[in-house]
Amino acid sequence: MNLTTLVHHLEEKLQSPLPGYKAQLGLYSDQGLKEYESHLKNFDPDTDSNTRQSSVLILLYEKEEKIYFPLIRRPEYEGVHSGQIALPGGKVEPSDLDILATALRETQEEIGIPPEHIQTIGVLTPVFIPPSRFWVNVVVGYSDSLPAFIPDQREVAEVIEYPLDQLQAISSIEEREVIRAQQWKMSAPGYVYQDHFIWGATSMILTELRELVKI
pTM over 0.85? The answer is: yes
For the chain, the C-alpha Rg in angstroms (whole number) is 16
Q: Which domains does the chain have, with CATH numbers?
A: 3-41+50-212 (3.90.79.10)
* H or E element, residue 8: helix 3-13
Measured distance CA(191)–CA(201) in Å, rounded: 12
The answer to whether 141 and 107 have CB atoms below 8 angstroms apart is no
For residue 107, what pLDDT is reported? 98
Question: Contact, 131 vs 181, CB < 8 A?
Answer: yes
Spatial separation of the C-alpha atoms in residues 155 and 75, rounded to whole Å: 6
pLDDT at 130: 76
65: Cβ–Cβ under 8 A, 6 or more apart, which residues?
2
pLDDT at position 32 is 81
How confident is the model at residue 44, as a pLDDT?
Answer: 65
56-58-61 Cα angle (round to 5): 150
Contacts of 1 (CB under 8 A, 6+ apart): 9, 67, 215
Q: For the chain, list residues with pLDDT below 70.
A: 42-50, 76-83, 179-186, 215
CA pseudo-torsion sign 77, 195, 127, 105: positive
Q: What is the pLDDT of residues 31-87, one digit of tens each?
A: 888 888 887 776 666 666 667 899 999 999 999 999 999 999 988 665 555 568 999
